[in-house]
Amino acid sequence: RAGRAGRSAGRAARAALALLLVLGSLAFVFALGEGVLRLLYGGAPPYFFSRIVEHDAQRGWRLVPGDYEFFNVAAFTRVRASISEYGIRSTAAPIVAPPRRRLTVIGDSFVFAEALSDGERFTDALQALVGPDVEVVNAGVPGYGTGQQVLLVEDLRARGFALGSALIHAFFTNDILDNAGLDYDSLDPDPKKPVFEVRDGALVSTAVAPGPPIPTAAISAQMARRSLFAALLRQRVEVLVASHPGILRGLGGVGVRVPLPRPPGVILGWYAPGWEERWSRTRDVLRQFAQTARAGGADFAIAFIPSPFQAEAVFEELLRAHRDEPLYAAFLDDVDRPQRVLLEFCAVEGLSCFDTTPALRAPRDEPAYFLHEGHLSAYGSRIVADAFHDEILARGLPR
């Protein structure tokens, strides 16, 4: 009996030693990986929105000119970006005697592309497709809704910047929240955003007061302490799951449901109560945008950019596990409501409008979006550029 007890104790000791060796090896790999990643990426400051903007009383914020280099932790990309003196991410200069045609794409962060360097955005891929006879200008500003983009167009023109003969508004699903000055997480009023409406045929907006100073140094220091190795592992797992959505189906089959931290902006904006009023406001602003573009001599077109929750199969699988929640059920029953409503509006108004959703839903081997960061990857940007190119050729833009 004493011998059996001794053998059991020996097996337990060996198992404990093996476990310690495994844990020690994992800790060593983690530490080594963290050290290598810090060496490769640690020299670039972490990206956050406040680093590249300043207060603007009319628009809420505007881009600060300069050359930037930062590390986007959510997308795990090192980014180089240049913002011109006109407050846009484009090197184009005002045109006095146009040597070539110019096409301006205006929008929010999906046009600006916070996770991609200059040369990787969909406007860069579009530039390569249209060739040297056409100049593509990127006028995207993160967080801007339709109304803020109208004000940006007016400001650029007032400062002598020629937008060219064609202006394409990249419409994203968050625009109806932005135009109403609402927070993406709660639908509460966001004091940092102006509220827009069309009154007596004119676009009017609320003024935005300066907020408290943003502790950029403290935010940067806090973000710099985050583990890069953990961020890389998360990003790789996301790509794996997105490439094989059946993994989520398998988890659901054994009763495992991946939690959602909050309803995505597309669902809150277009499926929560009050969406019709939010769309009505945005519809009026879009109508005003078309008038502003045409008054400046530009052909105007609207391009719909879908939310990743509308275009990535992995998100559909994720939401199906939450169908018992009314908001998610409403979305799953009418996923294409935003683009359908927009296209119907364009048809009634006689506006040129196209939808990039079919191109982004076509079969592919990798995600078109950075799943955690939420924006187009370089691969997805090329897909959107191809869709834009097909549409502008069909419409003869720019003239």
- pLDDT tens digits for range 231-270: 556 655 655 554 556 665 666 665 656 666 678 999 999 9
Res 97: pLDDT: 47
How confident is residue 28, by pLDDT bands cut at 50, 70 and 90? very low
pLDDT of residue 160 exceeding 80, the answer is: yes
pLDDT of residue 30 exceeding 90, the answer is: no
How confident is residue 15, by pLDDT bands cut at 50, 70 and 90? low
Instruction: Please calculate the CA angle 61-62-65 and round it to the nearest 5 degrees.
Output: 145
pLDDT of residue 211 exceeding 90, the answer is: no
Sign of the C-alpha dihedral computed for residues 277, 282, 286 and 287 taken in this order:
positive
Structure tokens at 372: 């955690």
**Are 228 and 73 in contact, with CB atoms under 8 Å apart?**
yes
Res 304: pLDDT: 99
pLDDT of residue 19 exceeding 80, the answer is: no
pLDDT of residue 161 exceeding 60, the answer is: yes
pLDDT of residue 31 exceeding 60, the answer is: no
Residue that wins the pLDDT comparison between 74 and 39:
74
* Mean pLDDT score, 142-168: 95
**Residue with the two structure tokens 């993994």:** 247
Percentage with pLDDT > 90 across the chain = 59
Cβ count near 139 (within 10 Å): 28
pLDDT of residue 103 exceeding 80, the answer is: yes
E strands along the chain, which residues? 53-56, 60-63, 66-72, 77-83, 101-107, 134-140, 166-172, 196-199, 202-205, 299-305, 352-355
Radius of gyration for the chain, computed over Cα atoms and rounded to the nearest angstrom: 24
Sign of the C-alpha dihedral computed for residues 64, 67, 71 and 72 taken in this order:
positive
Sign of the C-alpha dihedral computed for residues 36, 81, 378 and 264 taken in this order:
positive
How confident is residue 330, by pLDDT bands cut at 50, 70 and 90? very high
Residue that wins the pLDDT comparison between 175 and 320:
175
Residue that wins the pLDDT comparison between 70 and 64:
64
Q: Can you give 171-198 as a three-state secondary structure string?
A: EECCHHHHHCCECCCCCCECCCCCCEEE
**Are 49 and 211 in contact, with CB atoms under 8 Å apart?**
no
- pLDDT tens digits for range 284-324: 999 999 999 999 889 999 999 999 999 999 888 888 888 99
Residue that wins the pLDDT comparison between 238 and 350:
350
Res 71: pLDDT: 81
Structure tokens at 83: 């913002």
**Are 59 and 148 in contact, with CB atoms under 8 Å apart?**
yes
Q: Nearest-CA neighbor of 371 among 307, 322, 319?
A: 307
- pLDDT tens digits for range 377-391: 999 999 999 999 999
pLDDT of residue 79 exceeding 60, the answer is: yes
Structure tokens at 338: 């935003």
* Mean pLDDT score, 135-144: 96
Res 76: pLDDT: 78
Helices 313-320 and 228-243: crossing angle in degrees, nearest 10, is: 90
How confident is residue 221, by pLDDT bands cut at 50, 70 and 90? low
- What is d(CA 332, CA 169) in angstroms, rounded to the nearest whole number? 27
Mean pLDDT of the chain: 85
- What is d(CA 264, CA 358) in angstroms, rounded to the nearest whole number? 21
**Are 321 and 315 in contact, with CB atoms under 8 Å apart?**
no
Res 235: pLDDT: 56
Res 47: pLDDT: 59
Structure tokens at 128: 């390569």
Q: pTM of the full predicted structure?
A: 0.85
How confident is residue 230, by pLDDT bands cut at 50, 70 and 90? low
pLDDT of residue 33 exceeding 90, the answer is: no
